[in-house]
Structure 1
Amino acid sequence: MNIKTYLDSTYLKTAEQAGLSESENEIVVKGFIQEAIDEDFKLIMIRPNMVALARKIISNANSRVQVGTVIDFPDGKSSIEAKLNEAIQCIQNGADELDFVCNYEAFIRGDETLVKEEILKGTQLGLEHNKIVKWIIEVAALDDLQIAKLSALIKNVVIANFKEEAYEAVFVKSSTGFYKTVNNLPNGATVSSIKIMLENASPLPVKAAGGVRTYDEAVRMIQLGVKRIGTSGAKAIANGQASSSQY
């Protein structure tokens, strides 16, 4: 198994979150981009304001590493129009993959109409531009039944509106890695949440993000059926080591 083809090497901290200046944080981002090139990871996942930088570095290196970014991150509360505008800007800057944060709070409130509309319009925008689209459902904010229902909702919107050949380009993704849990409970992918997602999102692929910190954990997720793993410890995992990263 070439585990690197499953790994989305991820750095999503703002300068403030990292306790760095903007210029220092950009140096960190550049390091992650270069590492993804050197290690031949599937993708580098960075904030929207770093997309153009990543595209330039990767193009100059003649690398096949893809550029992914997050939309309406990390809360997912913005209007559909705001989500789409941010996604368009990222596409123009060279993003290959768009990881939208689903408005999971609206879902919890019972506003499925809003959620269905943003899934439809965001997916439509991405597919029209030949991009991979992922919908982050934030499993730590949901109970098991909600994980199942939101995964199925996304699947049903895609099946109802897009051709079968598009299914592999629309993922259901577990987590942002930034959700604040109580009592130090996991805020990312767990085996139990991923199993529920896989059962209810199929035939859409699933991405496990957050909480995967060792090679063995990554292999377990792949054996369960996930197609991608988001981690800021991609190099450590690929080398069979444990990552000290919190994501």
Structure 2
Amino acid sequence: MKLAQYLDSTYLKTPTQAGISEEETTANVIQLVEEAIAFNFKLVMLRANYISLAKEMINKASSGILVGTVIGFHEGTYSVEKKLIEAQKAIDLGADDLDFVVNYEAFKKGEISLIKEEVAKGTALGLQNNKVVKWIIEVAALNNKEIATISMLIKNVVIDNFGKENAKNVFVKSSTGFYKTENDKPNGATFESIKIMSENAKPLKIKAAGGVKTKNDALKMITLGVERIGTSSAKEIIEETTINSEY
């Protein structure tokens, strides 16, 4: 197993969120892309305004690294129309993967028709343009029953509208990594939430994001059925693997 090919190396903080300048943010993005090329990660996950820079670097290096971006990030409360406009702009910039934030607040209020609409339309736009589509459900905002229900809902919308043959190009993803939790509870993927997602979303694929920082955590996520791991610690995970493999 090539662990690097499960990793979506991620940098999504805006300069304001990170408390740094635009120039420092760009430098962080450049470093992330350089590391991804060096370690042959599956993908770099960046804000849309860095897609062109990342693509240029990857092409110059003759690398096969993919570039993904986020849609409706991070609250998910954008209208369906706004999400589709944002997704089209990302497609035009050359993004390979589109990670949409589901309107999980609407889901919690029982607005199921809205969720069905955005999943159907967002997935259609992505698949029509040969993109991988991921739906972020924000597990930290949901209880276990809600995680199971929304995972199954997304699966059913995708299968009913696009068939099982397209399931390989659609993921259910755990988290944005930006959700504010109380009492220092995890705001990203947990083993429990990933197990529930895997049980209810298959044959759609599963992406664990948020809080995966060690080789052991990454490997356990994979045993639970995860096919992608979004992490800001991709380099550290691989270096730990490299060190351990020497023994």
Shift of 1:14: 0.4
Task: Deviation per CA, 1:135-165: give whole Å up to 9, x if none.
Answer: 0000000000000000000000001001222
TM-score when normalising by structure 2: 0.96
CA distance in 1, matches of 2:175, 2:58: 26
CA distance in 2, matches of 1:30, 1:90: 19
CA distance in 2, matches of 1:240, 1:150: 35
Consecutive unaligned residues in structure 2, runs of 5 or more: 242-247
CA distance in 2, matches of 1:23, 1:149: 42
Partner of 1:244: none
Identity of aligned residues (%): 59
Partner of 1:146: 146
Partner of 1:8: 8
CA distance in 2, matches of 1:86, 1:56: 21
TM-score when normalising by structure 1: 0.96
Partner of 1:157: 157
Partner of 2:61: 61
CA distance in 1, matches of 2:101, 2:192: 21
CA distance in 1, matches of 2:124, 2:57: 29
CA distance in 1, matches of 2:212, 2:128: 32
CA distance in 1, matches of 2:120, 2:196: 22
Partner of 1:181: 181
Task: Map residues 1-247 of structure 1 onto 2, 5 A cutoff.
Answer: 1-240=1-240
CA distance in 1, matches of 2:21, 2:217: 33
Shift of 1:81: 0.7
Q: How many residues align?
A: 241
Q: Secondary structure at the match of 2:240?
A: coil
CA distance in 2, matches of 1:30, 1:239: 19
Letter in 1 for 2:83: K
Letter in 2 for 1:29: V
Letter in 2 for 1:164: K
CA-based RMSD: 0.8
Instruction: Give structure 1 regions of 4+ aligned residues with deviation exceeding 6 angstroms.
Output: none
Q: Secondary structure at the match of 2:185?
A: coil
